[in-house]
Amino acid sequence: STGGVWGSPAVATVARAGTTAVSPASVVPAPVIATPTGGVTYRITATTTIYTEPGSTAAADIAGQLAAIVRRSTGYPMPVVDAPSATPTDGIALLLSGAPTAVGGEGYQLDVTDASIAVRANEPAGLFAGVQTLRQLLPAAVESPTVQPGPWDVAGGRIVDYPRFAHRGAMLDVARHFLPMSVVKRYIDEIALYKVNRLHLHLSDDQGWRIAVNSWPNLAIYGGSTEVGGGTSGYYTQDEYRQIIAYAAARYIMIIPEIDMPGHTNAALASYAELNCDGVAPKLYTGTKVGFSSLCVGKEITYTFLDQVLGEIAALTPGPYLHIGGDEASSTTAADYATFMNRAQQIVAAHGKSVVGWHDIVNAPVLSSTVAQFWGTTTSNAAVATAAQNGTKVIMSPANHVYLDMKYNSRTRLGLRWAGYIDVQDAYGWDPGAYLAGVGATSVLGIEAPLWTETIETLADVEYLAFPRLPAIAELGWSPMSTHDWTSFNQRLGAQGPRWRAMGINYYHSTQVSWP
């Protein structure tokens, strides 16, 4: 099926589990512009070379990641070498020249002729995004861990593509159930394919503290020793946290660490008696209630604790954000909450970072740099709208559309249902830039899909709730609303199924999706 239907909903052919050429209309998120060249196909063969921008270690690294995927499934050598010219006449070229300025830092232009494939970007992040598109233009079997027969054809044409929003996030709650590094890395691989560029790690909660802090060692050693349901658990050493950051950075994903406060702090309060107003440490907690714990707002040691803990995490984190939670602080008075959040924001600023907080934070005075993450279930919230009108940027995580821990329906074994059931159409069918009253697209930094883990324990659990909804939400973050169309999306999403099977992803077979 050469010269396929680029971006058209009229998809005649989609990839079966095998190796037939993929229709380019199967790309998720939908590209901004996709123009086919009828009758033209590029074929990857045993002699295909990947050429990269001369002297760019970033381009060489991205090419290395592409080569590793293609080598496994094709068995071809796929050498990576510096490009001899900026106008490739053969092979696959990853170039940091010749891209339209309009695609910005994260966009790219991808050209497929019968002789060559060229991905052009202004920045390495754009090259990486273009490579994710190229992976999806190849037959699904390219994602297979073992050698497959081929052929390895890509239909001809041009894609010009760039993101709608800066923040395209996913969140993992590693506090309720600890998730080992291997699971976090695998999830990073999976979300990167859909051009998600931020991973928010919920590193502390009532049930566990998941990052080593040298100045307060019991947080991890004692506070990280258990989880929901009891049993042994764990935490990341600072070196492991650095490894997660490096792994994410190689996939152009920024890590946003969250230390939730002043509520959701039982694990910390249990680890250090002096953090409690009454000086008595509570027991470790392994249940799933929320809203019962609070740091002691009136004690000065609380702010020493914040300064030292947030200082260490700021020093470990290259990204500009520290998330300080602020949700469900129902054991803290409104006045105490405002006092606390005011000082917490100053402390974060003193460590050179900007605050992200759950949208409850707008009930306190906010710094102009503070970002509010909306997690409500209604389309109007007066306090968030007022903050937005005063310049606060908002990350959209409406719980009834993007909470990946909500069940698909009443028969879903995993997950919760407090925000309702969320099948694929609920995840896809809204506009982040025109959803919350008084919070227009210019106030929206982006979108994020949280996965809370009260009921989640394994990679298979994570994958089952994230797929296929995470790609739907990723498309809302990347693609212009002009591409928004359920019929088209349904076809493109369904075409991911064979890809997920090749990758071994444990996805939910939603009856709303037209799987091939």
| Helices then strands, each counted (H, E), the chain | 15, 17
Report the nearest approach of ligand TNX to the CB of residue 349 (Å): 22
Of 211, 181, 177, 416, give the one whose Cα is nearest residue 286. 177
CB of 326 to ligand TNX, least distance (A): 8
List 123, 274, 312, 328, catalytic entry: 328
Size, binding site for ligand TNX by CB under 6 A: 10
Minimal distance, residue 173 CB to ligand TNX, in Å:
6
**Type and span of the H or E element at 515:** none
Beta strands in 336-452 (DSSP E): 354-358, 371-374, 393-396, 444-451
Closest CA to 38 of 2, 73, 83: 2
* Residue whose CB is less far from ligand TNX, 408 or 478: 408
Closest of 6, 3, 23, 2 to residue 498, by C-alpha: 23
**How many other C-beta atoms are found inside a 10 Å radius of the C-beta of residue 487?**
9
> What value, to the nearest 5°, has the Cα angle with vertex 378 and ends 263 and 256?
45
Interface mask (CB under 6 A) for ligand TNX, residues 290-309, using x and -? x-------------------
Site for ligand TNX in 27-56 (CB under 6 A): none
Q: Which residues contact 240 (CB under 8 A, 6 or more apart)?
A: 181
CB nearer to ligand TNX: pick between 453 and 491: 453
Token code pair at residue 85: 């010219």
Separation of alpha carbons 105 and 126, rounded Å: 6
19/455 with CB nearer ligand TNX: 455
Residues 336-365 that bind ligand TNX (CB under 6 A): 358
Which of the residues 371 through 410 are near ligand TNX (CB under 6 A)?
A: 375, 403, 405
In this chain, which of 143, 153, 327, 475 binds ligand TNX, going by CB under 6 A?
327
Nearer to ligand TNX, 35 or 288 (CB): 288
Residue among 405 and 463 whose Cβ is closer to ligand TNX: 405
Q: Binding to ligand TNX (CB under 6 A): which residues in 450-479? A: 452, 454
Site for ligand TNX, residues 96 to 155, rule: CB under 6 A: none
Angstrom CA distances, 495 to 28, 34, 289, 484, stand at: 9, 17, 40, 17
Kind plus residue range of the DSSP H or E element containing 109: strand 108-112
State the nearest-atom distance from the C-beta of 405 to ligand TNX, in Å.
5
Count Cα neighbours of 425 within 13 Å in the Cβ-side half-sphere.
8
**4-22 per-residue burial string, b: 16 or more CB within 10 A, e: under 16:** bbbbeeebebbbebebbbb
Tell me the per-residue interface mask from 261 to 290 with ligand TNX, x by CB under 6 A, - otherwise: -----------------------------x
d(CA 11, CA 4): 8
When binding is defined by CB under 6 A, the residue of 86, 166, 316, 416 that contacts ligand TNX is 416
Measured from the CB atom, the residue of 452 and 508 that comes closer to ligand TNX is 452
Q: In angstroms, what is the minimal distance from the CB of 206 to ligand TNX?
A: 9
Q: How far is the CB of 192 from ligand TNX (least distance, A)?
A: 24
| 328 lies in the binding site for ligand TNX (CB under 6 A) | yes
Q: Which is nearer to ligand TNX, 162 or 358 (CB)?
A: 358
We find the least distance from the C-beta atom of residue 473 to ligand TNX, in angstroms, to be 15
- Is 328 a residue of the active site? yes
Is 172 in contact with 462 (CB distance < 8 Å)?
Answer: yes
Give the Cβ contact number of residue 316 at 10 Å. Answer: 17
Chain positions contacting ligand TNX, by CB under 6 A:
290, 327-328, 358, 375, 403, 405, 416, 452, 454
Residues marked as catalytic: 328
